[in-house]
Amino acid sequence: MKATARTMGISYAIREMLLPARELEKQGHKIIKLHIGDPNKFDFETPKHVRDALCAAVEKCDNGYEESEGNVELRKAIIEKEKKKNNIDLSLKDMVVTNGVTEALQMICAATIDVGDEALVPGPSYTSYLEFPKFFGGKAITYRTIEEEGWQPDVDDLRKKITPRTKFIAVINPNNPTGAVYSEKRLKDIVDLAGEYGLFVISDEIYDLMTFEGEHHSPATLAKDVPTILVNGFSKVDLLPGWRLGYAAFHDTTHQLDEIEEAVHKQARLRLSANAPCQMAVIEALKHPKDHLEGMRSKLRSRGEFAYKRVNEIPGLSCVKAQAAFYMFPKIESDHWKSDREFVLDILHQCHVLLVPGTGFCPEYGKGHFRMVFLPNEQILGQAFDQIESYMRKVA
């Protein structure tokens, strides 16, 4: 029996690289895992008041289905958050609570991408932005982000890649996998370009409050009459990755997205609802002061600077400093390896450090790079870099 081509064609390098690592673990090797963006696997902890709120929610709610669009009080809290953070006005009907940002993106692509359609996404880009357009019969077209300019978007390249089949422009800011924070001017240029060609913008802002260099700006704030779908969630800033809660917010004063918004709501009804107790509990995360944020950003800034310095000391590697989140996207300058995948597998087997090949984030603009997280403390990061450096001084 055969599976469909669309499912067999799915690739998600971040977790696929875990498979050979598990084989090494079975042999007794300890692997330093710098592949996945899960702060809770390191020394970051979900705030106690949020954990307590979940325990209380289980007792308080009936543990039945929630509204398909999401808990009303949660949506109200999100509206308040977006008004305060991005100065945009939203209504309850403009909001859908989803099983993470991933489901939000899946629903949007399902509502907009037909066979042969195109989506413009940054290169490199988080893997789901490459895979979901393809899954629905379309194609993700990557526009260049410029490594020499701190991975800022190349708006001229973006313009060249717009075709009659283009449906939307995706912006991931702060960016995964590069850790870049896009400038207000570049974002405004992208919004203006979308308006010129009658496109809408998807703005992924999951790391919006995790900047430590530069300031985060939302395209939704800059877009007066350009329709924008803002996607965000609670996995990173609120340290709740396992709760799988996100949202899609439709900011569209022109009502061009009305039918697409209804199509997303139809999908939300089809899958019933996101986790009910977690929705009730996460209201506490939105309304309570985020006292953990300052400490988290301080840790990440320090570890990012440490990782930046150490990577650039290793022969055959170079790296741009991250401005936000907890990712870096170093360049492999040595020609000892034929591909970034070969490099990552070699480092895994020889150094027991797990990274992700850059082509998993874009075959063109990710080529010759790898993604790593700098979530572990400096002792663990230092051990990983020592092992890589020792090996590369021998072979690179």
As a whole number, the mean pLDDT across the chain is 96
CA 247 from chain center: how many Å?
13
72-78: long-range pairs with CB below 8 Å, 24+: 73/280, 73/283, 74/279, 74/280, 74/282, 74/283, 74/286, 75/247, 77/283, 77/286, 77/287, 78/247, 78/249, 78/286
Does residue 148 carry a pLDDT above 80?
A: yes
Residue 200 has φ and ψ, to the nearest 5°, of -110, 165
What's at 302, amino acid-wise? Answer: S
Per-residue pLDDT reduced to its tens digit, 309-341 = 999 999 999 999 999 999 999 999 999 999 999
- Exposure string (b/e) for 22-51, b if CB count within 10 Å is 16 or more? eeeeeeeeebbbbbbbbbeebebebbeebe
Per-residue pLDDT reduced to its tens digit, 335-364 = 999 999 999 999 999 999 999 999 999 999
Q: Which of 5-14, 66-75, 89-98 has the lowest mean pLDDT?
A: 5-14
Are 236 and 202 in contact by the 8 Å Cβ rule? The answer is no
Bond prior to 174 in cis (omega within 30° of 0): yes
The model carries a pTM of 0.95
> For the domain bounded by 48-287, which CATH number is listed?
3.40.640.10
Q: Domain 5-45+292-395 class? A: alpha beta
Domain boundaries, the chain: 5-45+292-395, 48-287
Per-residue pLDDT reduced to its tens digit, 235-291 = 999 999 999 999 999 999 999 999 999 999 999 999 999 999 999 999 999 988 899
